[in-house]
């Protein structure tokens, strides 16, 4: 998750404001989940139901990351090509553009 946040921050006009807004959103989401959980318990719901509210945050993270990585599929393919080398040496395809890396045939 932090790779996506870091990459988005680097593309934003002001990295500091981006991180402040992101942290604020994270805190508001966590506070809202705690409030919903406490209200569920207050009104008699079982503890398991309150714990399941965490799934809403996990689902939101999954959907946002899926959208981010789908939009950046070419960059992801390039990273996977570099990681496939695995031994720390420079991959011959590293100097390719993301479009070339996606269309490059497997060796």
CB 92, CB 82: distance < 8 Å: no
Residue 96 confidence (pLDDT)? 55
| CA 2 vs CA 5, 36, 49, 58: distances in Å | 5, 26, 29, 14
Residue 99 confidence (pLDDT)? 60
Q: Both tokens of residue 15?
A: 């990295």
pTM greater than 0.85 (yes/no) = no
Tens digit of pLDDT per residue, the chain (107 long)? 788 888 888 888 999 999 999 999 989 999 999 999 999 999 999 999 998 888 888 898 899 888 888 877 777 677 777 777 665 555 555 555 556 555 555 55
Place of tokens 């503890």: 47
CB 56, CB 33: distance < 8 Å: yes
Residue 10 confidence (pLDDT)? 87
């Amino acid at each position: 998750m932090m790779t996506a946040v870091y990459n988005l921050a680097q593309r934003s006009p002001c990295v500091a404001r981006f991180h402040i807004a992101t942290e604020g959103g994270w805190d508001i989401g966590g506070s809202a989940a705690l409030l919903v959980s406490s209200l569920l318990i207050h009104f008699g719901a079982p503890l398991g139901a309150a714990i399941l509210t965490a799934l809403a945050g996990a689902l939101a993270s999954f959907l946002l990351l899926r959208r981010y990585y789908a939009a950046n599929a070419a960059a992801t393919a390039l990273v996977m090509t570099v990681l496939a080398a695995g031994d720390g040496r420079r991959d011959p395809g590293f100097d390719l553009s993301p479009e070339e890396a996606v269309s490059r045939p497997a060796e």
